[in-house]
């Protein structure tokens, strides 16, 4: 018997994956048509969802940002909630990912409806993690009669392999959820694209100097909010330990020069671990480097800071920004890629290299403005990025799957 692992909210069984679909049932000859308008996709009834099957696929490994599968299972984010919402609508949903070994799970967290989670063994373990793929996943996709695949992330190895060897050859219908980089060869081939920000939408619709990229019409895009548990990420009473806090992986593509500069005049803390931890501790000794912390403990740390600073310069819409807003903290971010739709003017500051030190200092010196911004940030997070914020996108996915039948 496979080993049974008990985990809060999950029924977990490790071992070889046995498909409940007998024999290959590829939907050969499915044609991919352009979407006339996402507005045409009206809410679907439970009857129309009956018999519908949608498979979500993580482009990056399940443990790309987290070392253990058990910790990944404890995450509560949009990747996990969209399948639950579709399952609640009556859709047969699964979430697939790549990990060190095969595993099957049933997600039953009390939100939406239960659905299956399937992890497939990595086929190229010596490659860098973002390039990991699973040929077992490709074979499963070829044999699966899903009405729609939804690839989460544009440029991970699992997504590329699935696209090259299963989706494109069989002309399968699929959507792409953008998280991070907004472009890859999957994007122009997708039936529907979910960007997260206005700047991503603009770049997709108007490639500009990147003339080799096909422009994506707005009718094939629908902006997708984050999905945050605003009851868990909420304001808490706490004595301030720091002026500024950031939550970030300590990796090479994150920028910490600004964090270091601010630590010369302000109390600064950073939550997160990574390959640069020892280097950054040595370079910026005034910063409290708190290391990796379980996501459930992050709200209590944010509550001990007066504002949140986003450390990245390559991100368009990191989840940590909304979590900080939900905790009632103003957010400061650089305007390289982050716009006012991500950090509203009444909920934080969009700064530049030239002005960030002066503007952060001025905000920290104005307690009334700091409190007003924190309240506005909280209101924005609750109104826009709550647990059911993906319902509209799920109805669009359901209609897209229905259209392909």
Do 258 and 171 lie in one domain? The reply is: no
Do 277 and 151 lie in one domain? The reply is: no
Is residue 58, in this structure, part of any structural domain at all? yes
Do 169 and 96 lie in one domain? The reply is: yes
Do 206 and 271 lie in one domain? The reply is: no
Do 177 and 284 lie in one domain? The reply is: no
User: What's the pTM value of the predicted model, to 2 decimals?
Assistant: 0.85
Is residue 125, in this structure, part of any structural domain at all? yes
Q: Any idea what the CATH number is for the domain that residue 124 is in?
A: 3.40.50
Do 399 and 295 lie in one domain? The reply is: no
Is residue 149, in this structure, part of any structural domain at all? yes
Do 395 and 355 lie in one domain? The reply is: no
Do 314 and 396 lie in one domain? The reply is: no
User: What residues make up the domain containing 80?
Assistant: 4-227+388-403
Do 202 and 305 lie in one domain? The reply is: no
Is residue 153, in this structure, part of any structural domain at all? yes
Is residue 235, in this structure, part of any structural domain at all? no
Is residue 359, in this structure, part of any structural domain at all? yes
Do 124 and 69 lie in one domain? The reply is: yes
Do 246 and 191 lie in one domain? The reply is: no
The number of beta carbons lying within 10 Å of the beta carbon of residue 150 is 27
Is residue 234, in this structure, part of any structural domain at all? no
Q: What is the pLDDT along the chain (405 residues), one digit of tens a residue?
A: 233 333 334 444 433 333 333 332 223 233 333 333 333 333 344 555 778 999 999 999 998 877 788 888 887 889 999 999 999 999 999 999 999 999 999 987 778 999 999 999 999 999 999 999 999 999 999 999 999 999 999 999 999 999 999 999 999 999 999 987 899 999 999 999 999 999 999 999 999 888 889 999 999 999 999 999 999 999 999 999 999 999 998 988 888 999 999 999 999 999 999 899 999 999 999 999 999 998 889 999 999 999 999 988 888 999 999 999 999 999 999 998 999 999 999 999 999 999 999 999 999 999 999 999 999 999 999 999 999 999 999 999 999 999 988
Do 138 and 286 lie in one domain? The reply is: no
Q: Any idea what the CATH number is for the domain that residue 311 is in?
A: 3.40.50.2000
- Give the chain's domain count: 2
């Amino acid at each position: 018997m496979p080993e049974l692992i008990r985990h809060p909210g999950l029924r977990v069984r490790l071992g070889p994956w046995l498909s409940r679909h007998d024999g290959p049932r590829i939907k050969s000859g499915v044609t991919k048509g352009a979407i006339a308008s996402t507005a045409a996709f009206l809410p679907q009834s439970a009857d129309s969802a009956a018999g519908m099957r949608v498979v979500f696929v993580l482009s990056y490994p399940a443990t790309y940002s987290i070392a253990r599968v058990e910790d990944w299972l404890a995450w509560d984010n949009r990747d996990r909630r969209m399948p639950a919402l579709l399952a609640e609508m009556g859709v047969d949903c699964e979430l697939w990912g790549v990990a060190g070994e095969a595993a099957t799970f049933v997600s039953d967290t009390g939100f939406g409806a239960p659905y299956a989670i399937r992890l497939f063994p990595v086929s190229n373990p010596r490659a860098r993690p973002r390039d990991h793929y699973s040929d077992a996943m490709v074979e499963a996709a070829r044999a699966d009669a899903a009405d729609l695949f939804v690839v989460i992330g544009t440029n991970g190895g699992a997504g590329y392999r699935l696209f090259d060897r299963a989706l494109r050859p069989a002309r399968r219908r699929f959507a792409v959820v953008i998280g991070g980089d907004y472009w890859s060869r999957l994007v122009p081939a997708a039936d529907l694209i979910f960007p997260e920000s206005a700047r991503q939408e603009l770049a997709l619709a108007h490639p500009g100097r990147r003339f080799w990229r096909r422009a994506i019409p707005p009718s094939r895009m629908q902006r997708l909010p984050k999905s945050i548990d605003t009851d868990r990420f909420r304001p808490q009473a706490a004595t301030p330990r720091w002026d500024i806090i950031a939550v970030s992986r300590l990796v090479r593509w994150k920028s910490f020069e600004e964090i270091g500069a601010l630590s010369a005049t302000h109390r600064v803390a950073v939550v997160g671990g990574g390959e640069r931890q020892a280097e950054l501790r040595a370079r910026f000794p005034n910063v409290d480097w708190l290391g990796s912390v379980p996501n459930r403990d992050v709200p209590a740390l944010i509550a001990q800071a007066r504002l949140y600073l986003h450390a990245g310069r390559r991100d368009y819409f990191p989840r940590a920004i909304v979590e900080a807003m939900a905790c009632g903290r103003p957010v400061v971010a650089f305007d390289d890629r982050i716009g006012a739709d991500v950090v509203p003017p009444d909920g934080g500051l969009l700064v530049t290299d030239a002005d960030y030190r002066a503007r952060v200092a001025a905000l920290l010196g104005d307690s009334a403005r700091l409190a007003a911004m924190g309240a506005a940030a909280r209101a924005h997070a609750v109104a826009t990025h709550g647990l059911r914020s993906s319902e509209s996108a799920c109805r669009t996915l359901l209609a897209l799957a229905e259209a392909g039948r």
